[in-house]
Every structure is written in C-alpha cells, then in structure tokens.
Amino acid sequence: MIDKKNAKAYWKENIKYLTWLLIIWFIVSFGAGILFKDALNSIKIGGFKLGFWFAQQGSMYVFAILIFVYVRLMNKLDKKYGYDA
Amino acid sequence: MMHSLLAEGMGVQNWTYILVGITFTLYIGIAIWSRAGSTKEFYVAGGGVSPLANGMATAADWMSAASFISMAGIISFAGYDGAVYLMGWTGGYVLLALLLAPYLRKFGKFTVPDFIGDRYYSKTARIVAVFCALLVSFTYVAGQMRGVGIVFSRFLEVDINTGVIIGMLIVLFYAVLGGMKGITYTQVAQYCVLIFAFMVPAIFISIQMTGNPIPQLGFGGELTDGSGTYLLDKLDGLSTQLGFSEYTEGSKSLIDVFAITLALMVGTAGLPHVIVRFFTVKRVKDARKSAGIALLLIVLLYSTAPAVAVFARTNMIETVSNKPYAGVPDWFTKWETTGLISFTDKNNDGLIKYVANKEQNELIVDRDIMVLANPEIANLPDWVIALVAAGGLAAALSTAAGLLLVISASVSHDLIKKIINPKISEKGELIAARLSAVGAVCVAGYFGINPPGFVAAVVALAFGLAAASFFPAIILGIFYKRMNKEGAIAGMVAGITAMLLYMIKYKLGWFDETLPDKSEWWFGISPEGFGSIAMLLNFIVSIVIMKFTPAPPKDVQDIVENIRIPIGVGKAIKH
C-alpha cells in the first residue's frame, strides 16, 4: 500500500519543479522569442539578432535542456521517496 | 547540351532507385523480424521498448512529410514568422515530458480514449475521445499519403497515384504484420535515413556559403565571398530591395504569432499518435527520458531547417532575380515542367522579375522546392539529390504508420472491445486490429489519390483540434482530482465544436458567400491560432460544469492518486 503522506509530499515537490521549469519554458519562447523580440533584436551576436535567434534557435535548445534537467531532478526525487523501483 | 542533360537526369534517377530500393527492403526486413503475436505487442509493442529506441521512433513518428519537405520552405518565405512552427512543434515536447507522458505511462493502458474512458468513468467520454482521435488522425494521414505520392512522382517520374499505391502497400505490410512493434523498429531505421538525408545537403551548402560546416552557426556567419557581410544582413537587404519585409522581422501580428505558437505546442502534446509512443516503454522514468531523447533528435532537424531556409532563399534570389530567362540553370527548367516553378514575362524584357508586388511579380516558386531542389540549386552530387527523396519517403511513411495504428486501435480496442463486444477473445481482437489497419490504409490511400480540396487546409488545423479536445481533458484528469465526467465531456465537446465552427467560417468559408477577411478574425487570431482560444474555452467549461456536478467516485480518485506515483507499472514483454 502506498503511504499517503509520502505520496503527497512527493507530488508537492514535483509540482514545484514543474512550475519553475515551465516558467523558464515560457520566458525563452513566448518571452524572448515573441513578446520581447524587438527589444532583444537591438543586441547582435555574430550575424544573429538576439530576438530572432531565440525564436529560431535558442528556445529549442533550452526546451531540450529543460527535459533532461527534469529527468535528473525526478530521478533524484524518486530515490528520495523510495519510488525508484 | 541535350545529351548531357539526359545523362545527368539518369544519374539522379538511378541513384534514387538504388537508395529508395535499399531503404524499402530494410523496412520490410524489419517488419518480418518483428511480427506482433498479441494485442499488447500490436498496440504498445509489448511495453518493453528502450528509451533510446522509443526516442528515435517518436522523432520519426513526429517528423512528417511536412517537417521534412515543407517546413524549411515555409520558413524561407515567412522569415521570422516561421518561428511559430519551430517553437510550436518543439515546445510541445516540454509539456508532453513534464505534464503528460510519465502519468499516462503509469496509467498503462493502450490508447488515449482508454485513459479518458477510465479516468472519466464513462462510455460517453470514451466515445467522444474516439471521435476526436479519428478526426485528428484521418485529416493528418491523408496529407502523409499525398506526400508519398508527390515524392514518388517528382523523383521517379511515376504517376502520383501509382506512388500513393506503392506507399500504401509498404505501410500495409509492416503496420498490419508488426503492429506497434513493427512500426517502432521501422521508425528507428526511418529516423536514421531522414536525418542523414536532411543534414548532408545542409552541411554541404553551409560550407559553400559560409565556410562553416555547422549549419546552425553558418547562417549567422559571414559570407565566403570576402565581402565580410553577414549572411542574414545580406538576406534582409535583398528582401527589402525586392519589396518584401525584412527576413528577420516577419509580417504577422504579435498576438497571432503568440496564439499560433501556443496552439501548436498544446496541439503537439495532445496528438494521440505521439502520446501512445510513451505507452511502449518499460518504466515511468523511461517515458521521461525518451521524451528528452525524442526532442533532442527532433531539434537536430528543426534547428537546421531555418539555416536551410536562409541558404536556399539567398541562393534562389541570387540565381534568378533579374537574370535573363534564356540563361536559367537546368534545375529551373526541370522544376518548371513539374509546375512548381512558373515564369511569365509580364513586361517582355526577357529578365526574371521577382518582387513582392503581385502585379509586377513574374516568378512563382512553390515552397516545397526549397528542400527538394536545394541540392540541385547548390550543384551538389547526384547521390545527395537522391538521398533527399529517400528521406522524404521515410518521413512520410513513418508518420503515416503511427497514425494508422491510432486509427486501428481506436476501432478494434476502444469501439469493439470496450463498447460493442467486450467478450471478444484476445485472438479475435488481434484479427480485428489487423483488419481495421487494412481498412484505415485503404481510406488513407483513397484520400491520398482523391484529396478533397479541404484536406490541406484541415491538416494544419489537426493541431487546433487536438489542443481543443484532448489536452485539457488529460491535464485536468491528472492534476485535478475533483474533475468529473460531466465537466470533461462538456469541455471536450465545447472545445472541439468551437474549433470546428471557427475553422469552417474563417478557413473554409462555408458559412458565407466568400471567405471572410482577416479583419473579421476574433482578436486578430487566425484559424491556425484559434486552437489556443478553443483550449481555454475547454478548460473554463470543464471547471464551471464540474463545480455544479458531483465529485468523481472514490475509486476514480484513487486512480488519480495512483498515476502520480511512478512505481508499480505493469509487466513488459521482453524483446
């Protein structure tokens, strides 16, 4: 039988991770790539305007990194709560 | 001249036969090796696929003919606005990995309607979900079969219909024989073929134009012509000269870019053929990991596409703009005969005038050319050109197979086993699954040969439909224990109805004499972006109705608590 208190605490920590990761997800895509694109475009890195780069390159790299960070965090969390069978 | 043209054409064609022949033999070999023996193997490959194999299969499943053939071309013409597809179709994987895949894997059934039906303890909910799954998958698969036909006809000079039929036979063979198991391992092979085929020309051209072998860096680099100009600055300049908006700026409104990106992200996370891939791995942690691997492999192609778009557009403008029509290169004439490039000398000066102004513009270029003809425009070797054909076929076939499986499982498992005849034997259900796969292939082939005028328009909206129906129902089912069947059903019906009505009015124009103007769009949001509004509507309706109706029974609330914990997943079949 699953210990309810343990399960609740696990879920709470999971939600905390999700919230933070989704905030970053939002900032790099909808923030840097869309809402603040024009402001960021005044900064240039090599031939890339920064807003354009986030929209067509940077956001995608961050997305991939976010999932792997989540995988690591959750693997640790599973161990902490004894759910890593 | 005539002779050398012919010899060159033969070269490409022979290479294409060889490469397509080898890859098809490979797919058939895999299908024979991985036949499915049980419904569990047929629906979810026995549930024992490794995270790496599932990641590769998901990437191939996901990247369709549209991603491979059309996306770089669309970006090429849309400039910055093309980012909606790049961010939309990758950002959805973050939602999938964080909010859906692990919990659905823990739930551990065969299909998305399975989850909706059990979580919302209702046959009605299951039927609504089956309807949505079929609607989304059929619109999508018709486009894939058409893609197969187009690649065949352009590269092997067979009739489009013959191409569709060859594609149908191949998919039929490995999907019907192998089910999810056969599909998984052919998709692994197809990923390898398609990514190689996409990267090789991109790397060649990147070196040619910027001296950098990494296309992702190359398109932000300086040109190799010694001028010291950045490639993107040059393209911005060329675009404004010809009257287009600056390449790096785009022309869609901010709110529409926002809405489309959101609709595509959420729609991606709600597509049943992508979700079911996560039912095939062994453990919950494997589901998370394979989502990460899938996205990494997808981003490899998606981050290259905008580079290809910039290279191809610059190359094309430089090669043809203001050049005499009499002296155009061979590829121009070749693609002219397929109707994908057309030139009319409006001012009779013998020069090709390519400008934004529609009255004066003399050159019409189909966006698919940007990938298909790109290697020819850049004078790459014949085998590279042939490789693009094999890659396009791999992309279209892998996606078509994944969709067909969703369709057949919806019919044999969700309709026959769960609703019409629950007493059906395991063997009977497997036969039913295979027969519905055959039926689905035939319907898909029919639409590939006789595409109704609205298919192309509707494919882009499959995402809106998925966003408006499944995404909220699944998210609420996992994260909101109090959500009940009344709320979920009302939400799905409201979301999908709103999406269909908006689409019919503003995309197909069936309600009015003519298609209504953009200025009439609600909040300035296009039909492609309306999925995000329909999704919000689904969430709101679900929650409001839920407040006025009884809480779900105790055993359902226990299911929700159970799927949140990653241990105790059912047994997998060893491969």
Q: pLDDT for B154-195, tens place per residue?
A: 777 777 788 888 888 888 887 787 788 888 888 898 999 999
Whether pLDDT at B127 is above 70:
yes
Chain A residues with beta carbon closer than 8 angstroms to that of B302: 60
pLDDT of residue B458: 63
Name the minimum distance, in Å, from the CA of A52 to any CA of chain B.
6
Q: Where residue B1 falls among pLDDT bands split at 50, 70, 90?
A: very low
- Closest chain B residue to the Cα of A68, Cα to Cα: B292
Whether pLDDT at B7 is above 50:
no
Q: What is the pLDDT of residues B434-462, one digit of tens each?
A: 888 898 888 888 877 876 655 555 666 78
The pair of three-digit structure tokens given for residue B173, joined into one six-digit string: 């063979």
- Closest chain B residue to the Cα of A18, Cα to Cα: B98
What value does the mean pLDDT take over residues A58-81?
A: 94
Distance between CA atoms of B14 and B19, rounded to whole angstroms?
A: 9
Whether pLDDT at B37 is above 80:
no
Chain A residues with beta carbon closer than 8 angstroms to that of B82: 56
Select from B80, B290, B303 the residue whose CB has the most chain A CBs within 10 Å, as the one to mutate to test that interface. B80
- Taking an 8 Å cut-off on Cβ atoms, the answer to whether B295 and A64 are in contact is yes
- Taking an 8 Å cut-off on Cβ atoms, the answer to whether A67 and B94 are in contact is yes
- Closest chain B residue to the Cα of A75, Cα to Cα: B285
Taking one residue from A and the other from B, the number of pairs with CB-CB distance under 8 angstroms is: 128
- Taking an 8 Å cut-off on Cβ atoms, the answer to whether A49 and B91 are in contact is no
- Taking an 8 Å cut-off on Cβ atoms, the answer to whether B302 and A60 are in contact is yes
pLDDT of residue B546: 95
Name the minimum distance, in Å, from the CA of B132 to any CA of chain A.
27
- Taking an 8 Å cut-off on Cβ atoms, the answer to whether A53 and B220 are in contact is yes
Name the minimum distance, in Å, from the CA of A32 to any CA of chain B.
12
Distance between CA atoms of B568 and B547, rounded to whole angstroms?
A: 32
- CA B326 to chain CA centroid, Å, is 39
Q: Where residue B472 falls among pLDDT bands split at 50, 70, 90?
A: very high
| Residue from B30, B17, B11, B336 nearest B152 by CA | B17
pLDDT of residue B456: 55
- Taking an 8 Å cut-off on Cβ atoms, the answer to whether B565 and A47 are in contact is no
Contacts 24+ apart (CB under 8 A), A32-37: A32/A58, A32/A59, A33/A58, A33/A59, A33/B83, A33/B87, A34/B83, A34/B254, A34/B257, A34/B258, A34/B261, A35/B254, A35/B258, A37/B80
- CA B182 to chain CA centroid, Å, is 20
Chain B residues with beta carbon closer than 8 angstroms to that of A83: 565-567
Chain B residues with beta carbon closer than 8 angstroms to that of A4: 561
Distance between CA atoms of B88 and B393, rounded to whole angstroms?
A: 24
Chain B residues with beta carbon closer than 8 angstroms to that of A74: 102, 285, 288, 566
Whether pLDDT at B4 is above 50:
no
Whether pLDDT at B208 is above 70:
yes
Judged by DSSP in three states, A44 sits in strand
Name the minimum distance, in Å, from the CA of B261 to any CA of chain A.
8
Query: Which among B80, B93, B289 is the nearest to A63, CB-wise?
Result: B93
pLDDT of residue B103: 92
pLDDT of residue A85: 66
Q: Where residue A25 falls among pLDDT bands split at 50, 70, 90?
A: very high
Query: Which among A25, A35, A37 is the nearest to B91, CB-wise?
Result: A25
What value does the mean pLDDT take over residues B77-87?
A: 91
Name the minimum distance, in Å, from the CA of B350 to any CA of chain A.
35
What value does the mean pLDDT take over residues A27-31?
A: 95
What value does the mean pLDDT take over residues B109-126?
A: 88
Query: Which among B233, B289, B565 is the nearest to A2, CB-wise?
Result: B565
Complex ipTM value: 0.95
pLDDT of residue B489: 94
Query: Which among B90, B232, B258 is the nearest to A48, CB-wise?
Result: B232
Query: Which among B231, B295, B562 is the nearest to A47, CB-wise?
Result: B231
Whether residue B220 contacts residue B213, with contact meaning beta carbons closer than 8 Å, is answered with no
Name the minimum distance, in Å, from the CA of B90 to any CA of chain A.
6
Query: Which among B86, B262, B567 is the nearest to A56, CB-wise?
Result: B86
List the single range of B104-118, B243-257, B348-362, B441-455 with lowest mean pLDDT. B441-455
Q: What stretch of H or E contains B86?
A: helix B83-95
Distance between CA atoms of A63 and A21, rounded to whole angstroms?
A: 9
Query: Which among B93, B232, B566 is the nearest to A67, CB-wise?
Result: B93
Query: Is the model more confident about B37 or about B71?
Result: B71
Name the minimum distance, in Å, from the CA of A1 to any CA of chain B.
10
Say which residues have a Cβ less than 8 Å from residue B224's Cβ, sequence separation at least 6.
B208, B209, B210, B211
Name the minimum distance, in Å, from the CA of B4 to any CA of chain A.
40
- Closest chain A residue to the Cα of B80, Cα to Cα: A52
Q: What is the pLDDT of residues B420-430, one digit of tens each?
A: 888 888 888 88
Beta strand A48-49 pairing with B341-343: unpaired
pLDDT of residue B574: 52
Residue with tokens 């072998």: B213
pLDDT of residue A52: 93
pLDDT of residue B2: 39
| Residue from B47, B183, B51, B28 nearest B575 by CA | B47
> What single string gives the DSSP state of each residue in B55-78?
HHHHHHHH--HIIIIIHHHHHHHH
C-alpha to C-alpha distances, B107 to B242, B343, B574, nearest whole angstrom? 56, 57, 20
**Averaged confidence pLDDT in chain B:** 85
Whether residue B270 contacts residue B466, with contact meaning beta carbons closer than 8 Å, is answered with yes
B450: number of Cβ within 10 Å: 11
